[in-house]
């Protein structure tokens, strides 16, 4: 392998490698780290972020950003809990419909007017949060999940792992196929890599962008609904700042914030990495969870710098 290939592998799989190293180091350092229970707890708590991050991966590869997913996650949870009084179908479809519609609206505005995704989805973040507060009486009302069948979705488990983990895994595989093996996936890469060239090559640029934001909205709503099922209620205070965690996970996973390159495996590794860092810090005990954010932040900064250097190394060869 030459230098260019090494740097490419590092860029694509760096998060996975660091994840492996951290797991080994953690297992050696803490007896209680490498237990099935702890592993399950990391995986389960990571799954909701992972679902959101999968959608974010598409958005970022297409050259955009979606800041509204944290708010949509919360709204999805509230709507699911509220809808559960009408049965399982409503509990699932209501959040998906509303969050998908918000994504569609954002996508249309971004694709048709050429406005910056950052601004459009920032407006989405604020607007959706307002909507959520209105539904929940400024957060005073907490809807409880009424339908036991829906609660099972979040709480039932097979082989020690709850259902959301399997849902996440299935989504990740589907997303991988979608991204790598379909025309839509190719279009997402092309739009993010060079929008002008993509247009000249016949890629439906606007449509691709709209789809990407719809997907991101749908997945955020789904994650919110599953989380409500797990907690048996639509909690309104969770999910603040979740969009930033999702972006961090995607970038740590090797997807370029400038678009055009990246993948689902990296994103999943990035999500797990954030979870493992949190878990390790909990193991240390003397450190608070606030410290976890510091470590994640430092790590993110290192990744961004490393990516810069790696892509430079690739260009020089």
Partner 1 sequence: MRRTDVEPMLEARGISKRFPGVLALDGVSLALRPGEVHALVGENGAGKSTLIKVFTGVYRPDGGELRYRGAPAAFATPMDAQRAGISTIYQEVNLVPMMSVARNLLLGREPRGRLGVIDTAAMYEEASRVLAGYGVAADVRRPLRTLGVGAQQMVALARAVSVEARVVVMDEPTSSLEPREVETLFGVIRRLRDAGIAVLYVSHRLDELYQVCDQVTVLRDGRLAHTGRLAELDRLRLISLMLGRDLSDVRTRGLTRFSRIRHRPTDGAAAAARVGAQGLGIHRGDAPEANTPTPSGGASSRGGTLGAVDGGGERDDAVSAVAPARVALGGEPGEGAAGVSDGTVVAPGGGAAAARPRGGVSTEAGVAVASPGGEAGGGAGAGEHGAGPLGGASTDASTTGAVEAGGGAAEHGAVEGRAPVVQARGLTRRHVLSAVDVDIRPGEVVGLGGLLGAGRTETAKAIVGALPLDGGQVLVAGAPLPKGSTAAAIRAGVSLLPEDRKAEGIIPALSVRENIALAALPSLGRAGVVSDTKIDRVVEIFMRRLRIKAASPHQPVSELSGGNQQKVLLARWLAVRPRALLLDEPTRGIDVGAKAEVQALIDELAEEGLGVLLISSDLEELVEGADRILVLREGAVVGELSGDEVTEERIMATIAEQSDG
CB-CB contact of 317 with 3 (8 Å): yes
Contact 47, 164 (CB under 8 A): yes
Nearer to partner 1, 102 or 191 (CB): 191
- Nearest approach in angstroms of CB 281 to partner 1 is 35
Helix (H, G, I), strand (E, B) or coil at 156: coil
Residues of span 239-258 touching partner 1 by CB under 8 A: 256
Task: Name which of residues 165 to 204 contact partner 1 (CB under 8 A).
Answer: 177, 180-183, 186, 189-190, 193-194, 196-203
Residue that the structure tokens 């049965």 belong to:
87
d(CA 222, CA 216): 10
- Exposed/middle/buried for residue 137 (C-beta within 10 Å: 0-12, 13-18, 19+): exposed
Nearer to partner 1, 185 or 221 (CB): 185
Q: Determine what percent of the chain falls in helix, strand and coil, rounding each to the nearest 5.
A: 80, 0, 20
Residue 152 vs 199, nearer CB to partner 1: 199
User: Of 255 and 296, which has the nearer Cβ to partner 1?
Assistant: 255
Instruction: With beta carbons less than 8 A apart as the criterion, state whether 213 and 138 touch.
Output: no
**Torsions phi, psi for 66 (to 5 deg):** -130, 100
- Closer by beta carbon to partner 1, 196 or else 289: 196
Q: How many residues touch partner 1 (CB under 8 A)?
A: 26
Q: Does residue 289 belong to the site contacting partner 1 (CB under 8 A)?
A: no
Among positions 199-218, residues that touch partner 1 (CB under 8 A) are 199-203
- The residue ranges that bind partner 1 (CB under 8 A) are 4, 8, 177, 180-183, 186, 189-190, 193-194, 196-203, 256, 260-261, 314-315, 317
């Amino acid at each position: 392998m030459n230098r260019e290939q090494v740097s490419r592998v590092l860029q694509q799989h760096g998060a996975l490698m660091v994840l492996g190293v951290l797991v080994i180091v953690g297992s050696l350092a803490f007896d209680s780290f490498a237990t099935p229970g702890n592993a399950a707890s990391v995986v389960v708590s990571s799954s909701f972020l992972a679902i959101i991050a999968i959608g974010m991966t598409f958005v970022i590869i297409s050259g955009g950003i979606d800041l509204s997913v944290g708010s949509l996650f919360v709204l999805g949870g509230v709507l699911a809990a509220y809808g559960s009084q009408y049965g399982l179908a409503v509990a699932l479809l209501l959040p998906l419909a509303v969050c998908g519609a918000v994504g569609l609206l954002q996508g249309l505005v971004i694709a048709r007017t050429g406005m910056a995704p950052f601004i459009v989805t920032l407006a989405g973040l604020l607007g959706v949060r307002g909507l959520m507060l209105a539904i929940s009486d400024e957060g005073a009302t907490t809807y409880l999940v009424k339908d036991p069948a829906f609660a099972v979705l979040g709480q039932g488990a097979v082989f020690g792992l709850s259902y959301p983990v399997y849902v996440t895994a299935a989504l990740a595989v589907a997303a991988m196929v979608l991204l790598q093996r379909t025309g839509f996936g190719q279009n997402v890469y092309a739009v993010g890599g060079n929008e002008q060239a993509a247009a000249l090559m016949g890629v439906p640029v606007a449509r691709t962008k709209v789809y990407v934001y719809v997907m991101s909205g749908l997945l955020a709503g789904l994650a919110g609904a599953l989380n409500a099922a797990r907690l048996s209620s639509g909690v309104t205070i969770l999910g603040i700042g979740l969009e930033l965690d999702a972006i961090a996970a995607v970038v740590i996973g090797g997807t370029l914030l400038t678009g055009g390159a990246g993948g689902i495996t990296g994103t999943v590794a990035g999500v797990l990495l954030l979870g493992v860092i949190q878990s390790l810090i909990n193991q240390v005990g003397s450190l608070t969870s606030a410290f976890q954010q510091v470590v994640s932040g430092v790590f993110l900064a290192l990744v961004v710098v490393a990516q810069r250097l790696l892509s430079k190394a690739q260009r020089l060869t």
